[in-house]
Structure formats: C-alpha cells, structure tokens
Structure 1
Amino acid sequence: MKKWGQKAAGLCSAALTFAAVVCVLGRLSVLPPWDAAFTAAGFIMPGGAAEALRTDILEEDEEDDGASHIEPPSGADSRPVSSVPENSSQKSQNSSAANAQQGTVSTTQKADVKEMSIVNAGVQYKNIWVKNSNKNHGIDIPGELKKQPAVKIAKNAGPQVLIYHTHTTEAFAGDTRSRDASKNVVAVGERIAAQLRAAGINTIHDATLHDYPSYNGSYERSKVTVLNNLKKYPSIQVALDIHRDAMGTSGGTRIKPTAVVNGKKAAQVMIIAGCDDDGTLNHPNWEYNLRLAVRIQQSMADQYPGLGRPLNFCNRKYNQNLTKGSLLVEFGTEVNTLDEATYSGELFGKALAAVLNKLT
C-alpha cells in the first residue's frame, strides 16, 4: 500500500506539474495547437487531472484583425452580393433559388459529434464562472459586480443597443456558412433584438455582410459599420457582435455545447470581454465592458442555469474599444442546430433585458 501511495502521489505530482507548464505556456502563447485549445476550452482538473489532460479540445481562435487561420469552407459561391437588409427577418421565397443566390455552404461529410455542457471552469463566485487567460490582470468577480457599468438605458427612446455580426455568414448544422439571414447568426441576432424591443429597449439590428466575399478583414469592415451606426444613432449604449463558435478534437470529433432550459435544448452561450493586458491594444476602457459582461453572465446563471459557458476574459480587442458597452457573444458551434441557437438568442435576450432594465 505504501508503494502504491507513493506511485499515486508521483502520478498526481506529474499531472499537476504538466498542468502548470500548460498554463504557463498558454499565457506565453507558445502552446502547440491541442494545448492552446485545451486551455481555451476552459476545462479544469479537480479530481480527474489525467483524464482532462487527454481531452484534446480544439477551439477555433477568434482573431482581432479578421485574418483568422480558419477560412470559410471551400465551395462557397464566389459571386459578390449585396448586404442583408437591417432588421432582417425575411424568409426566402424560393428555397432552392435562395440557396444559389445566398451562397449556402452545406456540410457534406458527417463528423462524429460529442455533445457536452461546458461549465464550472475558471474562477468562480457563487454561480458565476470566468475563464481568465490574461497574464497581468486577475478577475475579482464580486468587485466587478459592485462597479457601475458606463451604460444608461433610456426606455422607449432612441436606439440604445446595436446588434451586428462581424462574421455574418456563420451558420449552423447542415449549412455551416450561409448568406441566408434566416439560417445564419442574423437569425440569432433577431431573436435577441425581439426580446429587447419587447422590453421597451430600442434596438438596431444591422445585418451587413462583413465576411463575404472576403473573410480576411472582417473586423475592419464591421468597425466601419459600428462607427456609422454610432454616428447615425449617438444614443447607442451597447454594441453586441453576435457569432457562433467552432470546437473539435484533434481526431476530428466536433463539440456541441448544449444546455437544457425549461425542458428544451439550447446552444450554450459564451460572452467574450477583451482586456488590454499589456497596454498595447489601444483599448483603455475595457474595464467598463467587463463590468457589463459579468452582470449579464450573472443574469444568465440566475435565470437559465447552464446556458452560459464561462465568461471568456482575454487579451483581445474585437472592436470593443468603440463603446463602453461592447461585447462579443458566441452562440453554440457549427454542429448545434439553428433551433438550438435561436432559442439561446431568445433566452440571452431576456437575460440581457433584465440587466439593462436596471441600468436606466
């Protein structure tokens, strides 16, 4: 027994040492792909360190400049098209003609799908979890909750919230990329907007296409869209960039993050709050965005336990320097269904409205 205990202690020590190295390398951004993704996925190792270390989750990185290493699937219609109209909830008149015109990209090969709930990772305060990948900034969740966001909502007044999409063609299971606003992240944004409007919060949903025909440079183009809206509607307090995520393993298995809310399956939601960790991002007001993000994370956790993945607090900008109420929000992955994603949009919209109603 003594020898077994010594071996067990040695194994645990080795696992913890390896985990420490992974964390340090992750902060230095020199991890190999599976290690970087393991850290990005937000898994912790309370008792199953060895098992967790074998979980090679790959999470596609969301680049600030739009020059991501992940390009849209091949086979997309390369013909230029006009932007989708604002506040679009239009359905295609003819589905086959719409697919040709809207540039839908269907999934042609069925990959293995692993469905899971990504929760309880990172720093915890009550029912709130935050994944902090910054090197120089910690996260004091209760402290952030006590701070007042720089958002003041005027009910039944001019536009208060802007919803837009840097990667507008991101879609879901079956059609992973589509310019059809009824199939891509625009449909999710419209569900969010509907809940905000129902709460008396005037919302602009700008469905301008930013990632087609060129994916690179998407963030520069969406920056122009945000600035144009801020100029036209100076009353805007909050700007939300709505995306869908993509995750998988090195073996090709795709990850489907889900939660069951009121007996119905929903795609999990991840809020991203950028931090100017070393002062080089020209993002001086990031703390205000974080204050708002933590409140929304709490609202989701209180109303819909399990809906939110841990809040991602990272060294990125994502055009969040344009207002003091800017956030990026990911809804599910490319293997979640459209119904799961739009249901999450509805729930997130309600949780967001509850927060903004207290900031009047």
Structure 2
Amino acid sequence: MRKNENTGDSFWALKIIASLLFLIFTINICIPGNKAVNKTEESTNTASQGAENMNFINTQGVKEPERESTTEEKKTEPEQHAEPFASGEFRTPEDVLQFEKEYLAEFASVSPVGTVEEVFFKTSGATDIVNGLSIKNATATKKPDFEALLEEGPVLSVKDKSQPTVLIFHTHTTESYLLSDNGVFYDGFETRSFDAEKNMIRIGDEISRVLTENGIGVIHDENIYDESYNGAYSRSRVTVEKYLEEYPTIEIVLDVHRDAIYYSDTSHCKPTAEIDGKKAAQIMIITGAEEGYITDFPYWEDNLRFALCFQKTAEESFPGLMKPLYFCQRKYNMDTAKCSLLLEIGTDANTLEEALYSAHLTGKILTEIINESMG
C-alpha cells in the first residue's frame, strides 16, 4: 500500500510541476502580444482622428449623425466621403473621370480633325462697362441706365425659400460637351446627347444640388424639348407655364444651355476661366428687350435688373467666371417671370467637368442672391 501511495504522490507532484512550467511558458509567449493590442488601439485612435477630421469638414455643411465608434466602421468612412461632394466644395464625379477614360480610349487610334482654342473673355465685344461689369448692348434702340438698375436690385420677394423658389429647365436639353481637355476634337464625336448624365440635365442637376443643400426649394424639369430643333421654345414654354401655375412661389426661372463658337470647321472655341485653381466654363447671361418684332414682354426690365445682380454677384465671388452680359432683342420665354434668364454655360468645346464646376458656382451665386433678398 505504501508503495502505491508514493507512486501516486509522485504522479501528482509531476503534474503540478508540468502545469507551472506550462503557465510560465504561456506568459512569456503572451508578453509580445501586448504590442499587437497596442497596434490595434493605435489604429483605432488614428481612425478616430480621421473621423474627427471628417466631422470637421462636415460642419461646413451638413453634419453626419453620430455613429458607433468601431475600428471597422472608421476604416470605411474615408471611402464613403470620397464620392459625394462635401457641402461648399466641388470634386469631379467619378463617372465623369470614367467618361474621359472611355473617350480617350475610343479615339486613341483616330487622328483629330480640329483644335480647341481656350479663350478668356473679359470685355470682348462689350459696349458698356458699369461698376466693373461688362455688358454688350445688342439692341437697336434701348439705352437703359444700367447703373441705376443695378442699384435697384432684382424684384425678389422670397418669404420661405424652402418652398419651390427656382425653376430650372433646358429648351435645348441634348446639348453636351467634350469629355477630355486634350486640346482637340475628333470626327464622329457628337456634342448632342440623349444621355442625361452627359447633357444639360446633368448641369441642371448640379445647380439643383447646391441650391437644395442650402435649403432652397428647386424644381428641375428634365423633359427633352429638342428632339426636333424647330419648335423647342414653344414646347418648353408649355411646361414653364404649367409649373408657374402649379407653384406660385417660384420667382426665378432659368433656361440653362451651352453655346457654340466656331472660328472655322477645324477650330472651336472654349471660353474658360480659372477659379480657385480649377478650370471653369465661362458663363454668358442672355437677357432680352421688347423692341421691334419682340412684343408682349412686360418684364424685360425686371429681367435685366436680375441679370445685372447675377453678373455683379458672380464677379464679386468668382472673378472672371462671366462673359459680358448679352442684352438683346430676344424673348426666349423670359416674359414668363420677372427674374428669368437664359444661361449659356460654356460651349460644346468645353469639357463636361468644366461645365459642372460652373454649374456648381451658379448654385452658389443663386444662393447668395436669394439669401440677400430675404435680408
């Protein structure tokens, strides 16, 4: 019996010693593991700092709701903010960059048929310079007191800007742009498109987006009126009148186009300005007058006041963005409202990216005008 008890005691003693050795070995192995934990904490801290930076950016516009602070979520946050535009800034959309790649690939083996001439228009063709604003008076008989009209300001009486305040439409909806700033154009590339991501609807979308971000009610009509070029203005007029009747709070009506300037069949012009280090398509306002065969245009002078206000606000905020204001013997459905304009954003030789940037700035200009009108 004693022999068996000693054998049992030795067995348990050995087992205890083995357990102690295993425990010591485990502790030694786990000590470096603490560094891995620290790396995780460091990663979490870095992600949190990134999130704080993101929140700082967002406070310039719309702040994101509170989110659970997990390392996994924080890692994805920068990607979530890479595509949308933060309020107040413009970033070239990813699809526009992709359009350019596809365009260059399509014409990679094709010889260009013409060149694009980049031109900055400041006072070219201007008949009047009023308080630093360039105006081209193309009427035969009208000689308005531009300075007095500028001083009077636009006829705006916005009470609740969250209600539909701005109507945007496109009589020549399918007008479009080049997709790359490579200085040439190719045979076979059409500067009219039924693709809403590439034509004037896309430009109107950007103006609308900026207005909406700033709490301004906007209606963007996306109907296509120029499947047949003839009669486009008559067709768009029907829609404008319908919206004005349905939403009496609308005060600003914008027909947004792009222009075309050809020096020759092989030389096209792109009016371009550099705004904050980025190329923008220059914008031309067209505002009309009741003169000669243009009749029944009671609001032409009110339109002119609004046009001058727009030109002034743009020049103060984004010097160089505007071409000379074009005052002419035309109506173009601008008789439908007291603050109605036709905007030409660039030409068919500007790029979609440049036009979108100008549309973004247009939204900012309108926001400033509307906010000022409300006091």
TM-score, length basis structure 1: 0.68
Q: Does 1:227 align with 2:241?
A: yes
Would the aligned equivalents of 2:170 and 2:256 in 1 still touch at CA under 8 Å?
Answer: yes
Superposition deviation, residue 279 in structure 1: 6.7
Superposition deviation, residue 190 in structure 1: 1.1
Superposition deviation, residue 126 in structure 1: 2.6
Change (3 A) 1:279 1:160: same
Find the residue that maps to 2:315 and give its secondary structure. helix
Superposition deviation, residue 153 in structure 1: 1.7
Alignment counterpart, residue 267 of structure 1, candidates 281, 296, 300: 281
| Paired letter, 1:341 | A
The superposition leaves residues 49-69 of structure 1 with CA deviations (integer Å, 9 ceiling, x where unpaired) of xxxxxxxxxxxxxxxxxxxxx
Superposition deviation, residue 274 in structure 1: 0.7
**Aligned ranges 1:205-244 → 2 under 5 Å:** 205-212=220-227, 214-244=228-258
Superposition deviation, residue 309 in structure 1: 0.3
Would the aligned equivalents of 2:294 and 2:330 in 1 still touch at CA under 8 Å?
Answer: no
Alignment counterpart, residue 116 of structure 2, candidates 99, 113, 116: 113
Would the aligned equivalents of 2:167 and 2:250 in 1 still touch at CA under 8 Å?
Answer: yes
Superposition deviation, residue 127 in structure 1: 2.3
| Greater CA drift, 321-330 or 141-150 | 141-150
More helix by share: 2
**Aligned ranges 1:1-360 → 2 under 5 Å:** 110-121=113-124, 122=126, 123-174=128-179, 175-212=190-227, 214-250=228-264, 252-278=266-292, 280-360=294-374
| Paired letter, 1:354 | E
Aligned to 1:40: none
Superposition deviation, residue 194 in structure 1: 1.5
Superposition deviation, residue 150 in structure 1: 2.2
The superposition leaves residues 206-249 of structure 1 with CA deviations (integer Å, 9 ceiling, x where unpaired) of 1110001x111000000011011112111110110000000011
Would the aligned equivalents of 1:154 and 1:201 in 2 still touch at CA under 8 Å?
Answer: no
Would the aligned equivalents of 2:287 and 2:303 in 1 still touch at CA under 8 Å?
Answer: yes
For 1:333 and 1:304, how far apart are their aligned partners in 2?
A: 19
Superposition deviation, residue 282 in structure 1: 1.6
| Paired letter, 2:122 | V
For 2:173 and 2:332, how far apart are their aligned partners in 1?
A: 15
For 2:348 and 2:147, how far apart are their aligned partners in 1?
A: 34
Would the aligned equivalents of 2:200 and 2:256 in 1 still touch at CA under 8 Å?
Answer: yes
Find the residue that maps to 2:336 and give its secondary structure. coil
| Paired letter, 2:201 | V
Could you say which structure has the larger radius of gyration? 2
Would the aligned equivalents of 1:170 and 1:177 in 2 still touch at CA under 8 Å?
Answer: yes
| Paired letter, 1:220 | S
Aligned to 1:82: none
RMSD (Å) for aligned C-alpha atoms = 2.3
Superposition deviation, residue 156 in structure 1: 4.2
For 1:336 and 1:318, how far apart are their aligned partners in 2?
A: 24
Superposition deviation, residue 252 in structure 1: 3.5
Superposition deviation, residue 318 in structure 1: 0.3
Stretches of structure 2 lacking an aligned partner (at least 5 in a row): 1-92, 100-109, 180-189
For 2:113 and 2:242, how far apart are their aligned partners in 1?
A: 41
The superposition leaves residues 96-133 of structure 1 with CA deviations (integer Å, 9 ceiling, x where unpaired) of xxxxxxxxxxx996322111001123111232111110
TM-score, length basis structure 2: 0.65
| Paired letter, 2:281 | A
Change (3 A) 1:108 1:343: farther
| Greater CA drift, 183-192 or 135-144 | 135-144
Superposition deviation, residue 138 in structure 1: 1.6
Change (3 A) 1:148 1:113: closer
Superposition deviation, residue 148 in structure 1: 3.9
Superposition deviation, residue 154 in structure 1: 2.8
Find the residue that maps to 1:137 and give its secondary structure. coil
For 1:108 and 1:151, how far apart are their aligned partners in 2?
A: 52
Would the aligned equivalents of 2:294 and 2:331 in 1 still touch at CA under 8 Å?
Answer: no
Would the aligned equivalents of 1:177 and 1:184 in 2 still touch at CA under 8 Å?
Answer: yes
Superposition deviation, residue 287 in structure 1: 0.4
Find the residue that maps to 2:135 and give its secondary structure. strand
Question: Number of paired residues?
Answer: 259
Find the residue that maps to 2:285 and give its secondary structure. strand
Change (3 A) 1:343 1:280: closer
